[in-house]
Amino acid sequence: MFRTALFRSARQAVRAAPRCQTAIARPVVPRSLFQQKQIAPAAYFQAVRCYSASAGLSKDEVEGRIMDLLKNFDKVTDTSKLNSASHFHNDLGLDSLDTVEVVMAIEEEFSIEIPDKEADAIHSVKQAVDYIVAQPDGEDAPAPH
């Protein structure tokens, strides 16, 4: 009884082993039409966003990321005043040098470079969000020709 069970499980393991192997190292030549169908389901590509796709950044996402960034900024002591409309100087008590630091952090967060003139015009969370959304990656970006 025990011996037959052992034998059966061993045979099953042997049968299972090559199946595992094919899953890991896929043969270049598909062995059968059935298997090929199994490997590439049609919905597989929908989860991937192409780099060329537009409207990658929604306004809410941008706002959330900027808020998180400001929350972690140690000069912002009063987080209760932090909302989407707060002004860096009036509400959060940051001076112009801190604003430069915040803008630098935003540049890094979104992997962009903000020119000096535009960076100087950003004084509030709302302005920063509007600027990021107007960028080529954002939602409100002008359509490419």
Partner 1 sequence: MASTNPALRYQVLRIYKELLFMGRDYPLGYEYYRTRLHKAFFSQRGIDDPEKIKAGIKRAEFVKKEIEALYFLKRYRTLRKRYNQS
- Report the interface residues with partner 1, using CB under 8 A: 74, 95-98, 100-101, 104, 116-117, 119-120
Among 143, 137, 145, residue whose Cα is nearest residue 58: 137
The span from the CA of 55 to the CA of 37, in Å, is 33
Nearer to partner 1, 79 or 96 (CB): 96
Residues 6+ apart with CB under 8 A from 127: 121
The span from the CA of 48 to the CA of 42, in Å, is 12
Q: Which of 68, 78, 95, 120 is catalytic?
A: 95
Active site residue 120: no
Nearer to partner 1, 63 or 99 (CB): 99
Nearer to partner 1, 43 or 113 (CB): 113
Question: Which residues are annotated as catalytic?
Answer: 95
